[in-house]
Structure 1
């Protein structure tokens, strides 16, 4: 196994960091790696917010499901899907007048453009994660940035065609965090399929999820599926995330 593959296979989420900053040159190395990520049509449909204001960190720790470690992360990066920059450039270049002379309706970014921008954004974020791991840093994705869209929109002064997609906490792993056992993954036979999709049934589902049962289930649950449903899928934060993302899409497309 080469070094790149070792980096990928050894990576795990880190939520406890040493109390020391990520040096400027290391941060720049991470950002340069992110900007070399694959991107649709070389458009780079994302913006990366480097959060170094402690008051902002504190607010994000609360708004992102009250996770206090976010406020203590040495480096906090928010990845935004961004079509505003290109749309502003179109207008700057006189596209409105061009459309009028050709008797065309001015096209605005739609949901397809949103999905393309989200793809770009996540690819850049994951490239940052691998680069951080290669540099001896730990990282943790924060999907809760998808919640409370209106609050985060105002917090970051986001225009219409800019949406928060994910957030990364990055720092040097604390020793106890570095020694934590990596989380397991499902067997490849359940994830990789050939040529067509098929749905798992009955015993296949039981076999796939047999190691997912926690030692203590949430009250009222009798198996891993019910436990995860109540604890995650139907939880308040998950319902809010769905509402928030729906609001993002409506704001973008209206």
Structure 2
């Protein structure tokens, strides 16, 4: 193993942070590592909003599904899919008949933002700074748009909290699916029932005893808590509103 692989394999989602502020040197390294990320056509269709204001962190801890640890992080980074700067530049260049951004622009800028975000996560980890992805930033679109002063051709694609690991912190690694059920040769492989049972075997064995859907019904538990939960429905609504704002109403067509 080398240092990069060790960093990737040792990372966990950190929700408890040391009291020490992140040094300006380390934060600069994290941000500079972000903008070295691969980007479609070298267009860098994203912006990064750095948040240290305590009031803003508290608001985000509430709007992002009421998670108090968000407010206790030392720095929050929001990675924004951003075509606004490009379209402002096109206007500056007197481009005639500028089209409204399309779904391709939306998805490419989302990809750019996510790739840059994960560069930040790995850079931070290498410096002893833990992180946690907060997908809930995609909910409550109107609230977050106002809070972060986001123009129409942008979208908060990812958010991470940052803070140093506490001293002697005991990392707990969560088991991932076996690679055989994730990596396929040449073409997609639809898993048969036996493969699905094997894939979820470990998760089914660790179902909480308090599961109201039965000791062997992991699927119903996750469907209720995640896929069909209220936050999931709100995220779907928010993303649809955001896409309409970004593309000029493509979801209505």
With the shorter chain as reference, the TM-score category is: over 0.9
Tell me which stretches of 4 or more aligned residues in structure 1 moved more than 4 Å: none
Structure 1 position 195 matched with structure 2 position 189: no
- The residue that corresponds to 1:163 in the other structure is 155
Alignment of 1:27-176 (within 5 A): 27-96=27-96, 105-175=97-167
SS of the residue aligned with 1:199?
Answer: coil
Query: 1:161, 1:252 within 8 Å by CA — same for their partners in 2?
Result: yes
- Gap regions ≥5 residues in structure 1: 97-104
Shift of 1:253: 1.4
SS of the residue aligned with 1:163?
Answer: strand
Query: 2:153, 2:247 within 8 Å by CA — same for their partners in 1?
Result: no
Number of corresponding residues: 245
- The residue that corresponds to 1:247 in the other structure is 241
Query: 1:217, 1:227 within 8 Å by CA — same for their partners in 2?
Result: no
**Separation in 1, partners of 2:111, 2:186:** 23
SS of the residue aligned with 1:121?
Answer: helix
- The residue that corresponds to 1:235 in the other structure is 229
Shift of 1:217: 4.9
TM-score (norm 2): 0.94
TM-score (norm 1): 0.93
**Separation in 2, partners of 1:94, 1:217:** 63
Deviation string 1:53-96 (CA, Å, 9 cap, x unpaired) is: 11110000000000000001001111100000011000001102
Alignment of 1:178-193 (within 5 A): 178-193=169-184
- Gap regions ≥5 residues in structure 2: 249-253
SS of the residue aligned with 1:36?
Answer: coil
Deviation string 1:87-114 (CA, Å, 9 cap, x unpaired) is: 1000001102xxxxxxxx4322111011
